[in-house]
Every structure is written in C-alpha cells, then in structure tokens.
A and B are shown apart, each in its own frame.
Chain A
Amino acid sequence: MIRYYLDMALRSCRRSKALTALVIVLMGCGVASCMVTWAVFRATAADPIPWKSAQLFVPQIDNFGPVHDSKGEPPILLSYTDARAILHAAQARRQALVYPVKVNVVPEDVQRQPFMQEGDAVSSDFFAMFDVPFRFGSGWSVGDDDHRAAVVVISRALNQKLFGGGNSVGRQIHLDRHDYRVVGVLDDWNPQPRFFDVSSAGFPFSHPRQFYLPFSRAIDLHKANTSNFYCSADTSNPDLPNWDAVLHSECAWIGAWVELPTRAEAGKYLQFLHNYAAEQQRIGRFSWPPNVRLSNVRQWLGLNHVVPQASKLSLIVSCSFLLICLVNVVGLMLARFMRRAPEIGVRRALGASRAAIYGQFLTEAAVVGLAGGALGLLLTALGMAGVHLIFEPQIARLAQLDGSLVLLTVVLAVATTLVAAIYPTWRAAQVQPAWQLKSNG
C-alpha cells in the first residue's frame, strides 16, 4: 500500500510542480536557518564538563559590602586574603585557585625571537579537579605549591613549538627572567566555554592558554591578573602603592573552585563559607552580615551569561522564521490537497476509507518533507560556511555540521511538514464522495 501512496505522491508532485517546489524551498530555508543557529547555540550553551559539572563549585564571598557591591551580589572573584583562606581551610575534597597571567617565553636558541604567551597561575589541585589530560608527566604536588617551586606545565602546542613535540618532562624553559622545570605536558585540552577561568567570564570563548604556573610562585613574582582586577562595583579604587598593598587590599582578582561530590558536602561547604564571613565580621574586617554564594558549573555559566546574546537572539529569530514558513506550508498544502477534491471523491466512492486518505496525504507530506530536509541539509552546509559572517571567529569555529545535526535536520523537516499537513489532510478526508461526484460529474 505504501508503495502505491509513494507513487501517487510523486505523480501529484509532478502535476503541481510550482506548488511543490515552493513548499520544498520554504521547508528547506526554514529548517536550514534553524539548524545553523542551533549549531552555534548548541556549541555555546554546551556543558564543558558534563560528568562533573554538578560537583564543581565557585565560592563567592562579599568583601565589598552592600555599599560597593553590585546590587547585593558578591564579586565573582576573591581577594587574596579570602582565596588563601579557602585554600588553607581545605574544607572541600579539592580546592583550586586560578588567575590568568602573561609571560615572555625566551627560547634556548638565541637566534629565535622571544614571544609572549598567556597562561594561568593555578594551585596544585587544578589538574585533578578538572580532569586535565596529560600527554607526558603530571601536575605538581602540594609540596611544590608550598615551596613555591619553579615548575611549569605546558600545553601540547607550546611543547611542539619549544621541543618539537617530544617528551620534555625534566627540561628547562626560560620564562621572563627565570628558569622553570617542565613537569608535565598536556594533551589537547580546550574546554569551551573556558568555564574554569573565572576572571575571563566575560570572554568565555577565548584562545586556549599555553602554560600553568604554581599559584604561590606567581604571587612571589608579582604577577598580576591580566584580565580582571576590581576593587568595587562602583569603580571607587583604593590607593595601591605596591604589590604588598595589592595582596592586602579588598580588591577581587583570584578565581576559586571547590570540588564537592555530594549534595550534603555542598550544603556543609556553604555553611563553612557563611561561618567564615561571620568570623570576618566578628573580627571587624566586614561591617556587614555574611553574604556568600556557592554555584556549580551550570549555575555559574548561567549567572555569567556565557551564551552570547547574539546566539540566543538568532535562535529565536530563526525559529520564528520556521514557524512562519510552516504557517505558509499549511496554506499551500491546503490548496494543493483541496484542488484534488474530485479525485478524493472518486477514491472515496470506490471504497477507500478515511484512513486510506490519511495514509495517502501524509505519505505525500512526508515525501515533500524529506525533499525539504535534503534541501535544508544543503543550505545548512552552505550556512555553516557563512557563520563567520555573523558570529565572532572564536564562536563561529565552534559550530560544526556533525552526524547528529544531519539527522536532526532531516527529522525536523519531515516532522514539521507532517505537523503542517495534519489540518489539510483532515480537510481532505472530510470530502463527501457524493457531493464531489454530483457537482463535477
């Protein structure tokens, strides 16, 4: 039976070529625009560490106070005082401090030009906490943190550039004016968005960092946060005559993460933060009641509006475009099916059931939908090539046409066309055989 329906569908398409073509083009354009923007949205809204995102938390402590904070929200970063307190309290399974730094890499070969690299100053738990993959070696120990050791973990790309990609563990590199021993080389690791870099929450899709230095060592070397440093939400800045003043200031510039595997531990940790802030109030550092937050990865990304506005906006617009195309298709299908009322009348008079009419017209809709999906796929591929015209390069490169997107395109095209065909098909099935035969006899 289905072969008969398919045959009828193809005949009908051949008979009203223009109408069929119009429906296919509409479906193709509508589906393709949705898919292109969906690919971008999916990439920017993705969970960067799905297996652990519910266990990793950003602690926030309001050290600005109600006068200087942003509408009662604590700063996203911690002061050096609070960051050290979090690290040394060790109340979570793991705790890591993170902030971005820049260094000048001086190659051994004096003929080669020195170059600037961006990296992160992190404490030792960082690598285990974020399941950072190593190609050679490993991270450093808590002991290295305490001894402010001159060790470094480098990215695969920097290892390629400096050591030709070989196992460079144990070798020395020269950063700024000091020698560092390489203890680890990372495998490819570039989670998008770069959620772990709290300081750069405003630029979550930036380039991967090339090295990781011990936090304590970076502090010793007076390395400032290169991306975010603020002392109040209302730009009233204190005098900071030297590095010591920076460390003792209430300015926020250090990102912190804690790993809390269970809900109970998270609850306990929030209580710990609360107690800590209460203690600060008691000793007179804060003149306001505790104002602390604890957000896991997903909450954190939501809080910082990591998904670009342009990405959400374009998804909304393209979905409304698809909707309008669908309304259009309903009208065209109605025209197309009702034009064949006499034919339906004859079929019904010869004994075809309503179910048979439904089968015939829904098959026809599915065929048209499939063609729309094929065109949609072609347009999606074209659109992917044009994504860089609409989005910044670092976001555009995240959008990819993969197997799941291909499947989704075709399924969406067929499903929406079928939905659009429901009403016209119902109308077609309502055709009274006698009436049609009489008037067109």
Chain B
Amino acid sequence: MSSPLTQRWRYVLQVRPILAALRRHRMATALIVLQIALTLAVVSNALFIVQTRVIHLSRPTGTDEAHLFVIRNGWLGQPDVPHVDAQMRADLTTLRHLPGVRDAFASEAYPLEGGWGGLVLIKLRPNQATRPQLAISYFADEHALDTFGIALLAGRNFRADEIGSLGPYDKSMSAVVIITRDLAGKLFPAGPALGRTIYLNDDAPATIIGIVDRLEGAYVGSTTRSIDEDTILLPARLASPDGTNYLVRAQPGQLVALMQAAPKALAAQSRQRLVDPERDVISFAQLREQGYATDRGVAIMMAVVCVLLLLATAGGVVGLSSFWVSQRRRQIGVRRALGATRGDILGYFQTENFLIVSGGVVLGSGLGVLANVALMRQYELARMPLWLLAVGAVLLWLLGQLAVLGPARRAAAVPPVEATRSV
C-alpha cells in the first residue's frame, strides 16, 4: 500500500486521461453537468426559502403561548356602548374568578390573529414634519401584562384608574402608554425611552411609563414584517357593539379544561352573546398553526422537492456511471492487466465524478444566483447568502461520491483477464 499522499497525487495525475475520456462522451457529460447545475440552482434557492419561512414561522410572540387562549365574543341584539362596557366588566370579573385562570383581559386584537390590529402613528414632537414612526397597538388594562405573561424591563404597569372606556367612534386619548423594547429603540435610539413624551394620532401627548421586552403585533403575514415587534399598549377597553376578544391565561395544566369551562361561565353570566364553542374558543397553539399555515406549507413543499431532486440526481449518476462502467470493461481489464490496483480503478471513477460534479457546481452557482435575482424581483425575498450555495455544493459532492461508489466498486471488481475477452 502506498501512503495517502502519493495516493492523492496519483488521482491528480489521472485528471488528464479522465478529461480525455469524458471528451469522447461529450453529450452524456454535458447532460450530467447540466443536471447537477440545475439541481444546485433549485436546491440552494429552495433551502433558502425553507430557511426564511422557518425563521418567520418560529418567531415567538413574546407571550406565554402554551397557557393562553382567546374567546371571540359577539353581542346579541345590538347593545349600546354603556351596556357593552358594563357587560365586559362583568365578564372579566367572571373570568378572573374562575378556578384555573391566572388572569384575563379584553382586547380588540391578539397576537397571531393575522390582521385587524390597530396602527398608530407616533411623533416625537407635535406638528412633526418628518415621517412618524408606525406601530401596532393593543388596547390593554392593568391585567394585560400578566395575561400575556410578559415582564416589564423598566417602569410600571397601568393602574386601574388609567384605563379608559371607548366606544367604536371614540378616539383613544391615552395619557400613558407602554411600548416594546424594539419600538423604544426605534423612537429613542440615543437614550432611555422611559418617561419620555410621544405624540399619538392627532398630536395627543402620552408618557411612556413602561417598557416590555417583546410583544408581537396581531399581523402574521408579510405586510408589516418590519414593525411586527413595534407594539404599543394603550390603556383602554374598547366597548364595541361588534364584539370583543377575551384573552385568558390558564394556570399550568388547566388550559384544556378552561377552554371548556370559560365559555360556559360566560354563558351563565349572560346569554346575550354569540360564542360558538367550535370556532370562537382558540388556543394560541391553534392560532400559531393557522396563522403560519402557508409558511409551513411552502417550507414542507420546498423540503420535499429538495429531497426528491437530490434522489433523482443520485439516480441519474448511478445510471450513467453504470453505463460507463459497462462500456469500459475491456479498458478497465487492460489497465488492471498492466498493473493498476483496484484502488486505482475506484479512484478513477471517483475523481471523474468529482470533476463532473465540480463542473456542475460552477455552472449551478451562476444559475442559482440568477434564479435568486429573478425570485427577488417577483417575490418578497432577500438576497440568498452564498454559504447556502456552498452547502448545496458540498451536498452534491457527497451525493455524487456516494452514488458513484456502487458502479465504481463494480468497475474495480473487473478482473484483469477481461482484457483478453471480447464483449
């Protein structure tokens, strides 16, 4: 046996005869190079889409999702605003006293809902001429933070006396607000945001009394991606005759039981409401599944396509290599008779495969970048990082070596005596 170093050297020396041999099979070589190139172009882009979707769909909302559920509550008989407000207070008292409930509050929107969140324009000065900062709002009361399960990084929670009651046509006039760290950083990149005054819609001043770590807005789609974590809590209860959403945080282990018990308790409180137990009582886990259904679907599809493609390419390599081996049995026999070892023959086919895949990788990298540019123009997609191409290339090199192993071993098993036989 020769040392590994000379072994490798021997393969390098083989490159020229390999290239000469491939020149005799120009079309077949071109086909397999093209196939590797197309595979790399598609696989790298598909992996990139999988990666972006997986990152998107696994973003945390910042809340205690495992223990949260929402009750979408409609009103019967078009009650007026004071009635709605009174009923909401009564409902919240009922919910908070239910065994197994940690806390609850009412909101017009909730994380993972998929839309309908209110948008607020925030200015740093009244009559500010520059573009105001956009944020997604929730109406909240003093129980909101505990219900969401989010901690204050700085400042204090709302007090009960700060919570206003709003009708559907009222403008919210909040003297105090709580914002997320993300929004605080955007509004006041230089200094602490706590205690500062901001100006909401119509230049109403409000003081930032608290900063929370992370709370996602109600949107899960792509429309608001850049501000998904710029959330502002406004101290109000929206008494809308159209209905409200009760967010309930269960004690550990109580979620399933509470999702049954809570609507019943509400029904016992008052029957002037519409809550379909099938459709209107939803856990955050279910919301996450529904909200990101498309993202997950696309990720699954792309992953399946990647696997199928790599299998197809491997199949193609096996098929063509077997053909070449069967065509060259005599030449292999001659080489063996002239003193080539089994390892030499094995190395020959492996080097050949490496060269072909390398050709495909070069061509495929170009195609992959082109495809990425085309997709960027069509869809909301970022530039593909080059390391993904490298991952794809390494995958294909490994796959090629694995695929050629079988045929190459069969080639290595050709006995020297084959040289004397005719096909």
Contact = CB atoms under 8 A, between A and B. Distances in A.
Interface residues of A, number: 58
Contact of B298 (A18, A30, A177, A314): A314
The 3 closest A-B pairs by CB, nearest first: A335-B323, A390-B297, A328-B316
Given A30-B312, A328-B315, A339-B327, 8 more contacts: A22-B318, A104-B77, A176-B78, A312-B378, A314-B301, A317-B301, A331-B319, A392-B293
Contact of A327 (B31, B78, B305): B31
Contact of A177 (B49, B78, B319): B78
Contact of B274 (A115, A236, A317, A320): A115
Chain A interface SS verdict (over half): helix
A226 B32 CA distance: 56
B42 A317 contact: yes
Contacts of B302: 317
A29 to B, nearest CB: 6
Contacts of B38: 320, 323-324, 327
B423 interface: yes
11 contacts: A22-B315, A25-B315, A26-B312, A26-B315, A33-B305, A314-B301, A324-B35, A324-B312, A328-B312, A338-B323, A339-B327
A404 interface: no
B231 to A, nearest CB: 15
A19 B121 contact: no
Nearest to A387: B297
A313 interface: yes
Given A235-B121, A392-B297, A427-B27, A331 B134 contact: no
B379 A313 contact: yes
Contacts of A325: 312
Interface in A239-280: 239-242, 245
Interface in B406-423: 422-423
B341 interface: no
Contacts of B87: none
Nearest to B374: A316
Nearest to A320: B42
A293 B141 CA distance: 45
Interface string B272-306: 00101000000000000000011001101110010
Contact of B323 (A30, A339, A392): A339
Contacts of A332: 316, 319-320
Contact of B31 (A116, A314, A331, A338): A331
B308 A33 contact: yes
A239 B294 contact: no
A323 B367 CA distance: 14
Contacts, number: 137
Contact of B74 (A18, A25, A104, A324): A104
A342 B423 CA distance: 10
A392 B294 contact: yes
Contacts of B379: 309, 313
A422 B196 CA distance: 75
B169 A240 contact: yes
Contacts of A25: 315
Interface in A365-392: 389-392
Nearest to A341: B327
A126 B367 CA distance: 50
A318 interface: yes
A394 B237 CA distance: 34
Nearest to B320: A331
B119 interface: yes
Contacts of A309: 379
Contacts of B358: none
Interface in A267-317: 308-310, 312-314, 317
Contact of A331 (B32, B77, B78): B32
A318 B74 CA distance: 44
Interface in B306-352: 308-309, 312-313, 315-316, 318-320, 322-323, 326-327
A130 interface: no
B362 interface: no
Given A242-B169, A334-B27, A335-B323, A390 B300 contact: yes
A26 B313 CA distance: 10
Given A114-B76, A334-B27, A339-B326, A327 B35 contact: yes
A116 B323 CA distance: 68
A423 interface: yes
B326 A324 contact: no
B171 interface: yes
Q: Which of B74, B171, B293, B313 has the most CB of A within 10 A?
A: B293
Contacts of B77: 104, 176-177
A328 B300 CA distance: 24
B46 A116 contact: no
Interface in B356-400: 378-379
A235 B300 contact: no
Contacts of A241: 169-170
A237 interface: yes
Q: Which of A33, A235, A331, A392 has the most CB of B within 10 A?
A: A331
Chain B interface SS verdict (over half): helix
A241 to B, nearest CB: 5
A111 interface: no
B210 to A, nearest CB: 24
Contacts of A26: 312, 315-316
B28 interface: yes
Interface string B22-52: 0000011001101100110110001001000
A330 interface: yes
Interface string A218-230: 0000001010000
B14 interface: no
Given A235-B134, A239-B202, A313-B379, A390 B313 contact: no
Contact of B422 (A18, A323, A389, A440): A440
B376 to A, nearest CB: 13
A245 B171 CA distance: 14
Given A104-B74, A313-B298, A317-B305, A335 B169 contact: no
A22 B319 contact: yes
Given A317-B46, A335-B323, A239 B121 contact: no
A102 B240 CA distance: 14
A391 B297 contact: yes
Nearest to B297: A390
B375 to A, nearest CB: 8
Given A104-B76, A334-B27, A390-B301, A321 B316 contact: no
Nearest to A19: B319
B201 interface: yes
A193 to B, nearest CB: 16
Nearest to B202: A239
A324 B242 CA distance: 54
A235 B171 contact: no
B169 A310 contact: no
A318 B39 CA distance: 12
Given A310-B294, A314-B298, A390-B298, A324 B39 contact: yes
A239 B35 contact: no
A335 B42 contact: no
A30 B312 CA distance: 10
Nearest to B380: A309
A29 B312 contact: yes
Contacts of B34: 327
A242 B308 CA distance: 59
B174 to A, nearest CB: 16
A284 to B, nearest CB: 24
Contacts of B202: 239
A30 B379 CA distance: 24
